[in-house]
Amino acid sequence: MSTALYLALAAPLMLALAAATGLRAAPLGEILDRNELVMCAQAHALPFSRQDGTLEGFQIELGRALAAELGVALRVHFMHLHREPRRKECDALMSVAVPREADADVDYRTSDPYMAYRAVLVVHRSRSAVRALTDFAPGRVAVPSGSWAHFLLTGQNVPVWVRFRTDEEIIGAVESGASEAGIVSNFGYGWYRQRHPEAAVREAVEHALDGDLGFDVAVGLMDADQALVDRVNAALERMAESRVISATLARYGIALEPPARAAGR
């Protein structure tokens, strides 16, 4: 499978990438000269990002911390998917999937990975131990339509249910009994549990999902020179050491998942 398709289908936090590819951006010197880092984010996608409200999302909080480490201000360009032109001025995306092919044909660069996306199998709290996805009735495992889980499991001949668009809808369907199980992101599951601590759902940790459902996450840099990549990598290292990344995620009920690889492209 091509890297472009992998990135497009990966997860909700990666969806902005399709609209951001080919954007007009700047290397380090230009960013420092204008004293501003421009980050693209979805307008209504908590826990990732939000344009209005007291919570702005962990991507924006991390982006603000990254900009501060670079010594510049952050400006967020909010994207309303499917309604805006493809070309927007944007330097970075806070969360993109790290391409798995070393020679991936992409027109952006990534930082070193700073966290990982992990797929979570969610079942009702009353369900007995899960041994395999075949334990469930055909078509009763819910996944987001167009997601990486949808693509991968369909390719493995696992019948999935794609009625639901978001992690929250899937977890709600599992709790109500409309769906026997759901596969969501660790981000969506943590966010849901924080807001609904009494929810009658659990993570089926007894069944290990296919490792290919997960991937490392990095900062996507458009039109970046090596100097910018190096500065961002150093900033992320400091943010990790000072626990800015883990503390930011924790505010949204999300536990930091360490990346599998130590460096990006």
Give residue-wise pLDDT tens across range 200-217.
999 999 999 988 899 999
| Superfamily of domain 119-212, CATH level 4 | Periplasmic binding protein-like II (3.40.190.10)
Report the C-alpha dihedral over residues 98, 102, 107, 112, rounded to 10 degrees.
40
| pLDDT attached to residue 139 | 86
What proportions of the chain, in percent to the nearest 5, are helix, strand and coil?
35, 20, 45
- Please state the domain extents for the chain: 3-116+215-250, 119-212
CA pair distance 255, 249, nearest whole angstrom: 6
CA pair distance 174, 169, nearest whole angstrom: 9
Same fold, 3-116+215-250 and 119-212: yes
The yes or no reply on domain 3-116+215-250 and CATH 3.40.190.10 is: yes
For residues 12 and 157, the answer to whether their CB atoms sit within 8 Å is: no
Q: Which two tokens stand for residue 72?
A: 């510049």
| pLDDT attached to residue 18 | 39
For the chain, the distance separating the N- and C-terminal CA atoms, rounded to the nearest angstrom, is 19
For residues 11 and 120, the answer to whether their CB atoms sit within 8 Å is: no
Write out residues in the chain with pLDDT < 50, as ranges. 1-23, 82-87, 103, 263-265
Whole-prediction pTM value?
0.86
| pLDDT attached to residue 83 | 45
CA pair distance 29, 15, nearest whole angstrom: 28
